[in-house]
């Protein structure tokens, strides 16, 4: 019982920086591209409460697939709307993949020193890679949809933004029926394997 509680405490401690840094990636790149919306609304913050979506966090804990509270952006403020939309959309995923690679190196080099440390490093790898892969799904409001449509006409982007809230239902069905896991697990496992192999070779 105590071991189970400790395990979930570790999961939560791993999830917080995974989610926060993902959203900060979006927010800071948006700021660099000319949009100060996230900064003005207090979302360039390390406070997890500002970024956590309750249902998305629960889904992450249970299924390793989930989402955070989207950082507010105004693409009309970007110096170049299409380039800005692409870079902001991919930023969170890139942050998570970099973290996954960093903790792969830490896992390979230092996990033998302590079993708790080993668990923390391995969970950082798993959750960051899963979070990155999940967010690349090309379904609104996930990042993947914006990455693909970033260079579409402005009217299409506005249409996507207007109706993206309805696709949460589709995502929830795919997650809780296990369909999504069957599709994405092999992809994440492949990336994790490559990260660990690269870490071993360093």
Q: What pLDDT sits at residue 195? A: 98
Q: Which residue has the higher pLDDT, 94 or 179?
A: 94
Q: Per the residue annotation, which of 3, 23, 162, 164 is the catalytic one?
A: 23
How far apart are alpha carbons 25 and 31 in whole angstroms? Answer: 10
DSSP symbol at 111: G
Q: What pLDDT sits at residue 177? A: 83
How far apart are alpha carbons 153 and 138 in whole angstroms? Answer: 17
pLDDT digits 0-9 by tens, 47-97: 888 888 888 778 777 776 677 788 898 988 999 988 999 999 999 999 999
- Residue 23 annotated among the catalytic residues of the structure: yes
Mean pLDDT of 143-152: 84
Crossing angle between the packed helical segments 54-63 and 115-135, to the nearest 10 degrees: 120
157 pLDDT exceeds 80? no
In this prediction, residue 165 has a pLDDT band, given cuts at 50, 70 and 90, of low
pTM: 0.88
Q: Are 86 and 151 in contact (CB under 8 A)?
A: yes
């Amino acid at each position: 019982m105590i071991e189970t509680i400790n395990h979930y405490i570790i999961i939560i401690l791993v999830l917080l920086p995974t989610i926060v840094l993902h959203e900060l990636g979006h927010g800071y790149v948006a700021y660099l591209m000319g949009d100060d919306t996230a900064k003005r609304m207090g979302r360039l913050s390390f406070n997890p409460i500002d970024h956590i979506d309750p249902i998305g966090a629960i889904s992450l804990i249970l299924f390793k697939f989930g989402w955070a509270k989207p950082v507010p952006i105004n693409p009309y403020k970007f110096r170049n709307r299409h380039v800005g939309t692409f870079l902001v959309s991919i930023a969170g995923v890139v942050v998570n993949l970099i973290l996954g690679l960093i903790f792969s190196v830490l896992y390979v080099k230092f996990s033998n020193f302590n079993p708790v440390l080993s668990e923390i490093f391995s969970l950082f790898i798993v959750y960051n890679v899963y979070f990155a892969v999940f967010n690349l799904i090309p379904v609104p409001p996930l990042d993947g949809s914006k990455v693909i449509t970033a260079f579409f006409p402005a009217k299409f982007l506005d249409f996507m933004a207007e109706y993206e809230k309805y696709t949460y239902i589709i995502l929830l069905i795919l997650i809780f029926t296990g369909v999504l896991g069957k599709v994405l697990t092999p992809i994440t496992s492949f990336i994790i394997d490559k990260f660990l192999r690269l870490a071993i070779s360093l």
